[in-house]
Amino acid sequence: MAFEYAPAPESPAIVNIRPSYGLFINGEFVDPKDGERFKTVNPANEEVLAEVASAGPSDVDTAVAAARAAYDTVWRRLPGRERAKYLFRIARIIQERARELAVLESIDNGKPIRESRDVDVPLVAAHFFYYAGWADKLPYAGLGPDPRPLGVAGQVIPWNFPLLMLAWKIAPALAAGNTVVLKPAETTPLSALLFAEICQQADLPPGVVNIVTGAGDTGRLLVEHDGVDKVAFTGSTEVGRLIAKSVAGTRKRLTLELGGKAANIVFDDAPIDQAVEGIVNGIFFNQGHVCCAGSRLLVQESVAEELLDALKRRMAQLRVGDPLDKNTDVGAINSAAQLEKIRSLSEIGESEGAQRWSPPCELPERGFWFAPTIFTGVSQAHRIAREEIFGPVLSVLTFRTPAEAVEKANNTPYGLSAGIWSEKGSRILAVADRLRAGVVWANTFNKFDPTSPFGGYKESGYGREGGRHGLEAYLAH
Ligand code: NAD
């Protein structure tokens, strides 16, 4: 018998969303010079949340100039232990305002409050705490005796983990003595703007952090700006390629965190129930809007039937709906455009001959929704096995031997992450060694920690974020 759940909605009243936001430049909110604005909507009900400024060329100039001035006159001159105090202060304010940040993130992004509250926001605070600890220890980071900051970092981030991607970018940059201009994604600008208020609250010197909102054009203006010394980008491989081209031949340093099509490999000796939880977490966490999502399940043929039965039973228990309800497992798709992409790739999956299955599930009428879906009978040539869907869609393939599993797992242009499920430690180590992926999880999936480096191979990008390695991208040595 299925449990009935009473609604347990988190109140949106804790967060004050302003009707209109300016750009955050030199410690203040300012209007865009050409007056252009765009709307950000709640993907769970399509209601407009706020109007946000769109930064044009002269706005980006002003933001980069503010970051440069703050770098030259204040930030690079502060001893590491003083920079650390600001980062600790920011981390503590994030903890104090955690509920507000989590609610805002869920409203603007569509992700379940359970995730923004228990995963995103605690990790954001953890990143600032972690890098605060490094700020006065840079000579001991293994990057030479006197590592120096690069200058002004231009940072562009995607919409899937808006605040967490901001933390991955801003915390190490500031700890290393750089100043930043960050552009959040156009569909999820609000938590970055609340972060700007937190910078004010922390008395961060003006110009150390600047936030310019806008779409791809604003991002392009920022990464191509002559006054930027370092470009850090997280987003699609397609845009990453454009940025790599525009930065090539300049003195700018570049890190790219791009897409993925991770294999989650289940061997016949894996504990099935535990693996099922890992598969669900791997592909349905954050509606599958995860660069390192376990979107290709590779299951050993001898246990495939048993595992798929258990997976379907588990999927039937997933609760899809209101992101602010604490019972919700799967929230809204972030935008109409993303929903269209997921729908069209899923239709292609069917037309190429794979079998599609979703549990019975009632989707809300308004908003952008997609039921958790699996495809079986998938071959390596199918587009749903090759392309990043970036949604709650799992492609299931089978294998007979470990060698076949490794070959199939590596048969992708990407190389961001992978998962291995087995009782046998020696098998896990042997297989992990042969996987071309930046992160390999063993008997778990989608686990993040600020001390651990994260990044890709091949078309998943280059450079590492997180850990000691994450400092290297912001230091000359
Ligand atoms: P996207 O590339 O379309 O956009 C990312 C950001 O780049 C946005 O802020 C966008 O406005 C900006 N942008 C667009 N065109 C630009 C241009 N020409 N120059 C500069 N900036 C530009 O990606 P998305 O759809 O927002 O995000 C999803 C993608 O991000 C997926 O492919 C996912 O795998 C990837 N991602 C990677 C990681 C990682 O760490 N590797 C983490 C999260 C997401």
Ligand 1 centroid from CA 90, angstroms = 26
* 146 burial via Cβ count (<10 Å: 0-12, 13-18, 19+): exposed
Tokens representing 38? Answer: 């765009």
Name the E strands within 54-189: 148-149, 152-156, 179-183
Active-site annotation, residues: 257
Q: Residue 22's pLDDT is what?
A: 98
Q: Is 390 in the pocket of ligand 1 (CB under 6 A)?
A: yes
Most ligand 1 atoms within 8 A of CB, residue of 231, 236, 459 to mutate: 236
Nearest residue (CA) to ligand 1, atom 13: 216
Kindly list the domain boundaries of the chain, sorted by start residue: 12-258+460-476, 263-442
CA-CA distance, 477 to 146, in Å (whole number)? 7
- Ligand 1 atom closest to Cα of 214? 11
- Ligand 1 atom closest to Cα of 260? 34
Q: Specify the 3-state DSSP secondary structure of 450.
A: coil
Q: Is 59 in the pocket of ligand 1 (CB under 6 A)?
A: no
Neighbours of 341 (CB within 10 A): 17
- Ligand 1 atom closest to Cα of 257? 41
Ligand 1 centroid from CA 47, angstroms = 24
Which residues touch 344 (CB under 8 Å, ≥6 apart)?
none
Ligand 1 centroid from CA 232, angstroms = 11
Most ligand 1 atoms within 8 A of CB, residue of 234, 339, 387 to mutate: 234
Q: With a cut of 70, list the residues of the chain below it in pLDDT.
A: 1-2
Nearest residue (CA) to ligand 1, atom 9: 185
CA-CA distance, 108 to 290, in Å (whole number)? 17
Nearest residue (CA) to ligand 1, atom 19: 220
DSSP per-residue string spanning 374-415? EEES--TTSHHHHS---SSEEEEEEESSHHHHHHHHH-SS--
Handedness of CA 208, 211, 212, 217 (dihedral sign): positive
Q: Residue 163's pLDDT is what?
A: 98
Ligand 1 centroid from CA 231, angstroms = 13
Q: Residue 52's pLDDT is what?
A: 98
Q: Contact at 8 Å (CB) between 84 and 202?
A: no
Ligand 1 centroid from CA 272, angstroms = 35
CA-CA distance, 314 to 288, in Å (whole number)? 16
CATH number of 12-258+460-476: 3.40.605.10
Q: Residue 285's pLDDT is what?
A: 98
- Cα–Cα distances in angstroms (integers) from residue 171 to residues 31, 126, 128, 155, 386, in the given order: 26, 10, 5, 12, 34
CATH number of 263-442: 3.40.309.10
Ligand 1 centroid from CA 233, angstroms = 7
Helices (H) and strands (E) in the chain, counts: 16, 20
Q: Residue 297's pLDDT is what?
A: 98
CA-CA distance, 330 to 271, in Å (whole number)? 24
CA-CA distance, 260 to 387, in Å (whole number)? 9
Most ligand 1 atoms within 8 A of CB, residue of 119, 160, 190, 285 to mutate: 160
Q: Measured in Å, how far apart are the chain's first and last C-alpha atoms?
A: 62
Q: Is 236 in the pocket of ligand 1 (CB under 6 A)?
A: yes
Backbone angles phi, psi at 30, to 5 degrees: -125, 155
Nearest residue (CA) to ligand 1, atom 21: 219
Q: Residue 3's pLDDT is what?
A: 73
Q: Is 244 in the pocket of ligand 1 (CB under 6 A)?
A: no
Q: Is 290 in the pocket of ligand 1 (CB under 6 A)?
A: no
Q: Residue 243's pLDDT is what?
A: 98
Which residues touch 185 (CB under 8 Å, ≥6 apart)?
157, 158, 159, 162, 235
- Ligand 1 atom closest to Cα of 461? 41
Query: Biggest alpha carbon distance in the chain?
Result: 66
Ligand 1 centroid from CA 230, angstroms = 17
Q: Residue 2's pLDDT is what?
A: 65
Q: Helix, strand, coil: what percent of the chain each, to 5? A: 40, 20, 40
CA-CA distance, 257 to 193, in Å (whole number)? 23
Which residues touch 266 (CB under 8 Å, ≥6 apart)?
275, 279, 297, 298, 299, 300, 303, 307, 421
